[in-house]
């Protein structure tokens, strides 16, 4: 079964809006785990507009499932990850001003940087994943960095799903086989929802983990957090 990692950035955004500890980020993370999530994801950004660096340290003492930290590997981020030593770090090519991740790595152009960063994290015993588009050449270069996994950027899949799911999934199916060819583990994330998740899981060979935040937290407003997590887990059951 593909694992579900819940991205709790949006919970932190809501908390920060009033400057209090409501909702309690640590409690939400523990509740997600108790309700069945197999991981917790956070993406601290330089301006700390949602997840704060202090949150990452606090969560590292409470998360009992897989802890996944996403971010651009600047020196401050790397120090944070090396201090916390999560099970997984997902490297994204975001510039500081972007609202949300919007592209995968150009692993060829950034090869030297990525190879050094991946080596540093691997030596610390931290699984590394690179945020990637469905591009065979780029996935090959990602493998050359020594990364353990890639996370396919699924915004295009989600956007095109309503226009025809077979066309939407085709590049991702091919990318999954390419990842397998180069012995890369496979994750996926961005704009995945109750509408499109099951089809993705059913058609991506070797999909190990999905990271979902925005849609899941929005659904929880209607269905409740426990019910919502169970609904997403049901989408990930192998038929």
190 is catalytic: yes
CA distances from 209 to 19, 166, 199 (A): 33, 21, 14
Rounded to whole angstroms, the Cα distance separating 115 from 38 reads 28
Q: Which of 33, 43, 50, 151 is catalytic?
A: 43
Q: Which of 66, 70, 151, 209 is catalytic?
A: 70
Within 13 Å and on the Cβ side, how many CA atoms surround 168? 18
- Helix, coil or strand: residue 33: helix
CB of 36 closer than 8 Å to CB of 229: yes
Neighbours of 70 (CB within 10 A): 25
Q: Which of 33, 50, 66, 190 is catalytic?
A: 190
Rounded to whole angstroms, the Cα distance separating 164 from 9 reads 30
Q: Is 92 exposed, middle or buried (0-12, 13-18, 19+ CB in 10 A)?
A: buried
Peptide bond into 218 cis (omega under 30): no
Within 13 Å and on the Cβ side, how many CA atoms surround 103? 8
43 is catalytic: yes
- Helix, coil or strand: residue 218: helix
62 is catalytic: no
Rounded to whole angstroms, the Cα distance separating 192 from 215 reads 7
Active site residues: 43, 70, 190
């Amino acid at each position: 079964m593909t694992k579900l990692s819940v991205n709790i950035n949006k919970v932190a955004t809501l908390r920060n809006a009033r400057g209090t500890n409501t909702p309690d980020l640590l409690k939400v993370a523990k509740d997600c785990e108790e309700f069945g999530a197999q991981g917790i994801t956070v993406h601290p950004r330089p301006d700390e507009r949602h997840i704060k660096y202090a949150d990452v340290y606090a969560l590292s003492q409470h998360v009992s499932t897989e802890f996944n930290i996403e971010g651009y590997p600047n020196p401050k981020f790397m120090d944070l990850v090396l201090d916390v030593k999560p099970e997984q770090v997902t490297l994204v090519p975001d510039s500081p001003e972007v609202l949300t991740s919007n592209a995968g790595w150009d692993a060829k152009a950034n090869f030297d940087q990525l190879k050094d960063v991946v080596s540093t994290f691997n030596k610390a015993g931290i699984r590394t994943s690179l945020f990637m588009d469905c591009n065979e050449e780029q996935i090959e270069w990602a493998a050359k960095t020594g990364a353990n996994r890639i996370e396919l950027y699924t915004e295009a899949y989600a956007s095109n799903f309503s226009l025809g799911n077979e066309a939407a999934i085709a590049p991702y199916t091919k990318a999954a086989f390419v990842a397998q060819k180069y012995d890369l583990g496979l994750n996926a994330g961005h704009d995945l929802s109750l509408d499109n998740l099951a089809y993705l899981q059913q058609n991506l060979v070797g999909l190990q983990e999905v990271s979902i935040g925005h849609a899941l937290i929005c659904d929880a407003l209607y269905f409740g957090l426990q019910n919502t997590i169970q609904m997403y887990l049901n989408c990930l059951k192998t038929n």
